[in-house]
Structure 1
Amino acid sequence: MTESSVLEVPRKRRRFTAAFKARIVEACQQPGASVAGVALEHSLNANLVHNWIRTTRQQTAVPEIPAFVPVPMTRELSPATPQHQVADPIRLTIPHPNGPMVIEWPASEADACRSLIRELLA
């Protein structure tokens, strides 16, 4: 009897450059392209390509801007303040991704300021 033995060489894990991954993801996003088809063309596993697509979406995702942002008030106006006194302006600081927005409003026009805030938050 003759026995033959086959030695299997362990497969090395393939490494792909970021540019190659970007080309594959872009090819998958073309109209009419399927992820499985693109993967087969490049001898890749479709699940691996799906993983690259998910990773790309997560890296390029823009965080959502919250619908409601608390507005810190510098001071509270009391209704007992007489109208003839000159009061400090109402100062609103609104956080924004490009930097805080500061709005100064005359204290005598507090009702109009309140209406503006209601419209902005509606």
Structure 2
Amino acid sequence: IPRRRRRTHSEAFKQSVISACSAPGVSVAGVALANGLNANQVRRWLRERGVEPPSRRGREAVSPAPTAEPRFVPVTLAPEAEPRPVIRLDVQRGAARLKLEWPIEAADACGAWLRQWLA
């Protein structure tokens, strides 16, 4: 079974991680995860160097960005189209059964088709 080796990190790497942790709104766990480290390890580096972790720091009150007053925005809707009349047929001839919808404007074509189908 291969033995696990401890990873060693340079002081420059540790300092870059520590400085990333001091950025506003950044979590130690997030910085650790981004660098492939355990958050407890990063907290230890902070403690060893006398840097207070962000969770213990007095956080400055962050005021939300001013938002515009909500206001009424008129919306025009297209009038609903009236349902177009259709011819609905339920026709059976032997074992064949048809349910059919045909536009009313083409009633004569519907009649011609129906006469041909029934012939």
Q: TM-score range by the shorter chain?
A: 0.3 to 0.5
TM-score, length basis structure 2 = 0.41
Instruction: Identify the structure with the greater strand proportion.
Output: 2
TM-score, length basis structure 1 = 0.40
Larger Rg: 2
